Amino acid sequence: MTSNPPEFPSSHIEWDRLWQIVRTNPDDYLSWEHLIRVVESAEGGINASAPPENVTRLETVFDSFLTKFPLCFWYWKKYADWELAVHGDAGAEKIYERAVIAIRNSCELWNHYLDFKRAHSATNGEIESLFERGASCVGLDFLAHTFWDKYLDFAENRLANPQRVLQLLDRIVLIPMHQYARYYERWRAIRATLLPREALDPDTLSQFINEIRESKGDLPADKIDVYLREKMDSQTAEVYKKTQEGTNKRWVYEAEIKRPYFHVKSLDRPQLQNWNRYLDFEESMKDFARIRALYERCLVPCAQYEEFWLRYGQWLISTQRTSEAREAYGRAAFTFLPKDRCNIKIALALTFEEEGNNDEARRIYTSILETIPTHIETIQNYIHFERRTNPNAYEKLVNTYINSTQLSKAATAYFTIQYTRYLQQVNRSAVEWSYTHQYSSIERSK
């Protein structure tokens, strides 16, 4: 959030009051909403000729709010509309670009951005490039039909390219989603009017011809075309069957999703359980792109739940994507979760250590302990981290916690036992140290 708000006239009593509230308590969502309404209704309006302080206030509020709550896609849209009114196309585009980075898997946001680009004289190449960016972010969403409808409309009416329409449908019909049957029927109808050599993509056409020649021998072109039609019809039916099965399997979980968007209010337990079951199912399908897409989608309504971020990171690490896990943990720790959630920060520190960035890992441990100096899990991980990376500092550190007056007696006894075991593992005489420290610590903990 902006550290120093701009100076505004003292007569703006409501602005001053609400700004102070959200500065003091940034989690007060209702006050943020009220503050946004205040700046949007400023006397003199919000446009290119508005008083400069009106624009400055509005930008300050939106920037601060969307830093705190970046998943609120509708406020990105509102901000872009205001920037369009004040700064024109360039101003709006900057906000949309920030928006699709902050919440890259929002179909609604991508649709608004694409509508903006199509309405403001972008070239076909620029628009198609943006569509492809959107497809990489939301194309696998179960409710992506609104996005794909726009893309098909663009190919059919603005590009006027029937071949491009067919190429898009070749991709879409493979995706299990809500309106799969509608796309399939259109795809099937188009292919039925074309020769197989026109309907099939080059790789599939080559594959089918090779298979025909292997099984039937050399044939004249017209005979090959007959068998090509048979293979294409069989492929068409197989695509429908597979996509229908995939859709039906996911429908079980999709039907239970009651709130797919972000909100500060908590989700009920059945919703959380459904997301976990859905993730279990998708992981069992072993399609990396679909698994990642579902995690990113889940982490919009579940953004404030540490367990889902930890699960996502652990899955990424299991697929040898430590840097992506670090990025996910960082988003969780410093944007979405409350500052007192330590487990996600511990996980982040462990990924930094895995990547060899020990200084950053150490900084995270010490920053947690500056805020919550008695957090046992953090202390334990920090001690073991120093034992692995800096043995010379380890003994001094562990003794600091053994002799700490801030920790409970049970905690100091626990660290005493851990240290004794360490001394035994490195073949050092620990008997005398144990009698003078370990047992006395245990007695104090009783």
Helix axes 306-318, 269-285, angle to 10 degrees: 10
Residue 175 DSSP code: S
Q: Between 429 and 195, name the one with better pLDDT.
A: 195
HSE-CB at 302 with a 13 A cutoff on CA atoms is 26
Rounded Cα distance, 188 and 199, in Å:
10
Q: What is the pLDDT of residues 7-50, one digit of tens each?
A: 544 437 888 899 999 999 999 999 999 999 999 998 888 999 98
Distance of CA 61 to the CA centre of its chain: 24
HSE-CB at 156 with a 13 A cutoff on CA atoms is 12
Percent of the chain clearing pLDDT 90 (strictly above): 76
Q: Between 362 and 8, name the one with better pLDDT.
A: 362
What sign for the dihedral angle of Cα 181, 186, 189, 192? negative
Rounded Cα distance, 351 and 345, in Å:
10
Rounded Cα distance, 320 and 389, in Å:
22
- Torsion-angle region of 69 (φ positive above 0: left; ψ -120 to 50: alpha; else: beta): beta
What per-residue confidence (pLDDT) applies to 101?
95
Cβ of 123: how many Cβ atoms within 10 Å? Answer: 9
Q: What is the pLDDT of residues 80-113, one digit of tens each?
A: 999 999 999 999 999 999 999 999 999 999 999 9
Q: What is the pLDDT of residues 63-76, one digit of tens each?
A: 999 999 999 999 99
**Is the pTM for the entire model greater than 0.85?**
yes
Cβ of 138: how many Cβ atoms within 10 Å? Answer: 25
Distant-in-sequence contacts of 92-101, Cβ < 8 A, 24+ apart: 92/116, 93/117, 98/66, 99/73, 100/133, 100/134, 100/137
How many residues in the chain? 446
Q: What is the pLDDT of residues 406-442, one digit of tens each?
A: 888 888 888 888 888 877 776 555 444 454 555 455 4
Q: One-letter amino acid identity for 73? A: F
Q: What is the pLDDT of residues 125-156, one digit of tens each?
A: 999 999 999 999 999 999 999 999 999 999 99
**Beta carbons of 196 and 232 less than 8 angstroms apart:** yes
Contacts of 2 (CB under 8 A, 6+ apart): 60, 63, 64
Q: Name the band, by pLDDT with cuts 50, 70 and 90, for residue 3.
A: low
Rounded Cα distance, 64 and 68, in Å:
6
State yes or no: pLDDT of 57 exceeds 50: yes
**DSSP letters spanning 183-228:** HHHHHHHHHHTS-HHHHS-HHHHHHHHHHHHHHH-S--HHHHHHHH
Cβ of 56: how many Cβ atoms within 10 Å? Answer: 15
Angle made by CA atoms 178, 183, 188, in degrees to the nearest 5 = 140
The two structure tokens encoding residue 351: 């990924």
The two structure tokens encoding residue 130: 């943006």
Contacts of 274 (CB under 8 A, 6+ apart): 253, 256, 257
Radius of gyration of the chain (CA): 29
Helix axes 29-40, 13-24, angle to 10 degrees: 150
